[in-house]
Structure 1
Amino acid sequence: MTAIDLTGRVALVTGASRGIGRAMALELGKAGAHVIATARTTGALEEVDDLIRAAGGSSTLVPLDLMSSDGIEQLGAIVEERWGKLDILLANAGQLGVLTPAAQIKAKTWNEVIGVNLLAPARMIRAFEALLLKSDTGGRAVFISSGAATSRRAFWAPYAASKAGLDALVQSWADEHNNNPLRINLVYPGAVRTVMRAKAFPGEDANSLPEPATLWPLIAELVSDDCQRHREIVKA
């Protein structure tokens, strides 16, 4: 894995209880960052905390439903009060929804997928931009998107639309920060061994896919102090 020293950095990871979020939270902790790990499942978060601490790192667990009316904003206030800054934002949490014809998708599914994949990141931008700008490095924001944003295949309408919207949101926001040190990027992780991937492709051999931890060298580059990439869609 890529060696990187993030000692003294504060990193927030959403969807940290499993998959890519879990793996990246662990790697960030190993690299010296204090990890604020968020997810809906407390038990799974506690397992992540145990792994980070066993590796010599430190973390703060925040059970959080991104669909709650003010949870993200409350977290922003907590980070402001406790740390006064945010060095790294890794917006990883995602919602697949159901793979079915667009005409059959219920409003509840649209609300959940758009809410988690697009509206929550928009609220994070509002809640954490000022804190990211207080970072010594100017802050690093990485959003996990998907190739579905551009492939837009049949039966993937909610997920594809939400990720296309995420790409537009993040790149538009990045354009507002071309003249300061804040670095903002998107990542298309590709096929990785996760629960969401298994749900989307139930007949696929999961053992043929790389583990989420294999994404760390790419993420490490994007959150490093000397990262110069900005407004990019980076494909793993």
Structure 2
Amino acid sequence: MSRLNGRIALITGASRGIGAAVAKRFAAEGAHVILTARTVGGLEETDEAIYKATGRHATLAPLDLRQFDKIDQLLGYSIFERFGKLDILVGNAGVLEALGPVAHYDPKLWERVMDVNVTANYRLIRSFDRLLRASDAGRAIFVTSGAASAPYPYWSPYGASKAALEMMVKTYAMEIASSNLRVNLIDPGIVATKLRMQAFPGEDQTKLTQPDDVAGRFVDLAEAGWTGNGEVVSA
């Protein structure tokens, strides 16, 4: 397993769920992974699993993505100083917060959903565009959802945030089309995650697709040989 041998990959939301699964799979494929999330304990658990499997530690960068300036300060400058490039960016972190009717939705929760699901990813693009272009085959992957194109009652903040993310990422993909960078979205489908449990608390998650089951598709999009750009790919 060496499809990402020597690549430098940054993964957001890497303390659990899909982010942690992708981090472990990337490391198994030979990448050095930089992991960010708010939960230090969760990042350490992911790192421990990576070390046990590969004998190599990840780089941990605890961060609340809503602290936008710290994306520049903690991640952008630090990664530039240490590595001089970034081969793979995975914008995985996302929040649901709560379901509710548009007319009664809490403005603070709306703002939080947009901050994490849209604005934080814009700030990641803004911070890492130069480093991704410095790679011989930069790859940026952002996690979307069927909610972006299929409206459903009470899901408006999450659906609107993913629709905005898709438009932003597809536009960015057009802008970098003449470079070595490739930018895509991935829809993992229905996966057993904390976010899914928030929306469907009574659901038996053991019967759902597990995060490890979709991690391989992220490897496909992260490989230097992937040529698609501006696509929404299913896991």
Q: What TM-score bracket applies, with the shorter chain setting the length?
A: over 0.9
Alpha-carbon distance in structure 1 between the residues aligned to 2:97 and 2:45: 26
Alpha-carbon distance in structure 1 between the residues aligned to 2:191 and 2:218: 14
Shift of 1:58: 3.0
The superposition leaves residues 26-61 of structure 1 with CA deviations (integer Å, 9 ceiling, x where unpaired) of: 111111111100000001110111111111133100
The superposition leaves residues 99-134 of structure 1 with CA deviations (integer Å, 9 ceiling, x where unpaired) of: 011111111011100000000000001000000011
CA contact (8 A) 2:220 2:226 kept: yes
1:208 aligns with 2:224: no
Secondary structure of the residue aligned to 1:63 is: coil
Backbone CA RMSD of aligned residues: 1.0
Alpha-carbon distance in structure 1 between the residues aligned to 2:30 and 2:181: 20
> How much identity, in percent, do the aligned residues show?
48
The superposition leaves residues 183-218 of structure 1 with CA deviations (integer Å, 9 ceiling, x where unpaired) of: 100011110011111111122211110110111221
CA contact (8 A) 1:14 1:37 kept: yes
CA contact (8 A) 2:48 2:57 kept: no
CA contact (8 A) 2:147 2:158 kept: yes
CA contact (8 A) 2:18 2:215 kept: no
- Number of matched pairs: 233
Cross-structure match for 2:222: 223
Cross-structure match for 2:46: 48
Q: Map residues 33-112 of structure 1 onto 2, 5 A cutoff.
A: 33-56=31-54, 57-74=56-73, 75-112=75-112
Secondary structure of the residue aligned to 1:151 is: coil
Alpha-carbon distance in structure 2 between the residues aligned to 1:72 and 1:7: 26
Amino acid of the structure 2 residue aligned with 1:129: D
Shift of 1:136: 2.0
Amino acid of the structure 2 residue aligned with 1:6: L
Alpha-carbon distance in structure 2 between the residues aligned to 1:69 and 1:183: 24
CA contact (8 A) 2:68 2:123 kept: no
Cross-structure match for 1:10: 8
Shift of 1:5: 2.5
Displacement over 2 Å in runs of 4+ = none
Q: Which runs of 5+ in 2 are unaligned?
A: none
Q: TM-score, normalised by structure 2?
A: 0.97
Q: Which runs of 5+ in 1 are unaligned?
A: none
